[in-house]
Structure 1
Amino acid sequence: MRETFIHPTACVETGAKLGQGVSIGAFCHVEAGAEIGDNCELMSHVVVTGYTTLGENAKVFPHAILGCEPQNGKHKGGHTKLIIGKNCMIREGVTMHRGSDTSRGYTQIGDNSSFLAYAHVAHDCDVGNHVTFANNVMIGGHCEIGDYAILGGGAAVHQFVRIGHHAFVGGMAAVVQDLIPFGMAIGVHAYLGGLNIIGMKRSGLPRQEIHAVRRATRMLFDRSKPVKDRVEDLRAEFADSAAVGDMIAFITADAKRTSFTTPPLHGKHASPEDQS
């Protein structure tokens, strides 16, 4: 393990905790209360404020700012946290805010995730593992982003919206309703443009499960029946499919933003085409 290095121009306040092999570059500022894990690298001009925990092996590029107070008018200035998992790549100008003291009190980022330049994670969000935010992605407060989700450049996710695991949000999409696991949202405002077949294959999902999700998605957006009936039809027909079970659990969970999920367009796009 390499020796810990702190550039002479960096400011590491008393009370900050540094792991082994940490590298703090020029003009960085690490406040008291922050915890930097083993083998993390802060390249230059990085600011880590408040009670922020940065997991081991993170690489943080210039001008990223981690752990500032939430942009939430209800926040009273209490002790809140930003918790970032291990092996994350945080590129130039990324901002991630702490939780708010009138909500759950922390923002959480999972392991092995990548946040490209100028992406933003707002207060009280829960971002999963192996997630990718492309440049300029913005998510509002209280959002949930599932494992392996990919958000394309400039995409915006409304506060309280949930993005399911293995979902894909297209570049510049504005997502204002929940997006089902494996779904692909495109457009402004975003609509369900198909399924993230490429992501499903990359994650090793069995072929029969992919076919089951395709059939289930067509049934789910059959407008001839009420939503509750469609969900019960899925339970009956796909009882042996774990992937469809995930979709059902996602849809029936307590959603704060919407009573249903991002739909396909009506008309010629009423049955979303798979993107393979």
Structure 2
Amino acid sequence: MAQIHPTALVDPKARLDESVTVGAYTLIGPDVQIAAGTTVGPHCVIEGHTRIGRDNRIFQFGSIGAAPQDKKYAGEPTELVIGDRNTIREFCTFNRGTAQDGGVTRIGDDNWLMAYVHIAHDCIIGNKTIFANNAQLAGHVEVGDWVIFGGFTVVHQFVKFGAHCMTSMGSIVFQDVPPFVMASGNTAQATGLNSEGLKRRGFAPERIGVVKQMYRSLYRKGLTLDQAKAEIAAQREAVPEAAGDVDLMLDFLTASTRGIVR
């Protein structure tokens, strides 16, 4: 049997692995699934069609899987899916998806989500991200792997964040942030590269050099976006070990629908 505090209310239809721990006064609904090794702190509410993976740590006072804050929502059986080994701190609010999108809000693996983080309906979060306190995402936002949000970052709906990018504290983001780029301000603008993060992740100097060249093409040479993309594509042949980084940037720029921060 799962280790459930006697004051917790866990619906008998909920599916909890026997190694799950549930704290005092927590409420878990009938359509919730929680995999092995996950701990849920006191005074949490986990509801709706919510699936939580292995070895997550959910701290007290979280609201996980509530209905989306969308006036079009009409009670459809949408989902929240959380992966493995995430740390979810106090007062986080993660909402389910909507039928107007894919019907799923998805959070990947190994993410660090600090207090008061809000992830709205239909957001897609990758792996190994960091959300500092009070980072707030509106609906339909897509976040790549290794992204870092500074505290009090606020994001407009449908914005995309490329892998390894970063925002500074208090940023207000209305447009897409390309991979590797640091964005800051209200409204957010590109302010440099997340070079220190790339070094910590083991990027060789040659790869970081290519990332710097891509940044110059986008932001320092006065090129149109098409001209910048052509110049970036040439880097694939110049430094073969950075070909994946070049493709990551080009794919992001091609998929961007809101335009990129400038």
What is the TM-score normalised by the length of structure 2?
Answer: 0.95
Where does residue 254 of structure 2 map in the other structure?
252
Contact residue 11 and residue 30 of structure 1 kept, 8 A: yes
Q: How far apart, CA to CA, are the structure 2 residues paired with 1:58 and 1:222?
A: 42
Q: 1:192 aligns with which of 190, 193, 212?
A: 190
Instruction: Determine whether 1:32 maps to 2:30.
Output: yes
Where does residue 233 of structure 2 map in the other structure?
235
Q: How far apart, CA to CA, are the structure 2 residues paired with 1:88 and 1:50?
A: 19
Q: Map Cα deviations across residues 40-59 of structure 1 (whole Å, 9 max, x no partner).
A: 11110011000101111111
Deviation at 1:225, TM superposition (A): 3.2
Where does residue 273 of structure 1 map in the other structure?
none
1:238 is paired with a residue whose SS is helix
Q: 1:80 aligns with which of 78, 81, 97?
A: 78
Instruction: Determine whether 1:261 maps to 2:255.
Output: no
Contact residue 70 and residue 122 of structure 1 kept, 8 A: yes
Contact residue 222 and residue 230 of structure 1 kept, 8 A: no
Q: How far apart, CA to CA, are the structure 1 residues paired with 2:58 and 2:235?
A: 47
Aligned identity (percent) is: 36
Instruction: Determine whether 1:202 maps to 2:200.
Output: yes
Contact residue 217 and residue 223 of structure 2 kept, 8 A: no
Q: Map Cα deviations across residues 224-255 of structure 1 (whole Å, 9 max, x no partner).
A: 432112211211243333212211111011x3
Contact residue 10 and residue 27 of structure 2 kept, 8 A: yes
Q: How far apart, CA to CA, are the structure 2 residues paired with 1:170 and 1:47?
A: 31
Q: How far apart, CA to CA, are the structure 2 residues paired with 1:213 and 1:262?
A: 17
Where does residue 181 of structure 2 map in the other structure?
183
Where does residue 269 of structure 1 map in the other structure?
none
Q: Quick check: 219-228 or 107-116, which moved more?
A: 219-228
Counting only pairs closer than 5 Å after superposition, residues 1-276 of structure 1 correspond to structure 2 as 4-222=2-220, 224-239=222-237, 240=240, 241=242, 242-253=244-255, 255-256=256-257, 258=258, 260-263=259-262
Contact residue 81 and residue 105 of structure 1 kept, 8 A: yes
Deviation at 1:223, TM superposition (A): 5.6
Counterpart residue identity of residue 40, structure 2: L
What is the TM-score normalised by the length of structure 1?
Answer: 0.91
- Which runs of no fewer than 5 residues in structure 1 stay unpaired? 264-276
Pairwise CA RMSD of aligned residues?
1.2
- Which runs of no fewer than 5 residues in structure 2 stay unpaired? none
Q: How far apart, CA to CA, are the structure 1 residues paired with 2:148 and 2:59?
A: 20
Counterpart residue identity of residue 213, structure 1: V
Q: Map Cα deviations across residues 195-249 of structure 1 (whole Å, 9 max, x no partner).
A: 0011111111111010011012111224643211221121124333321221111
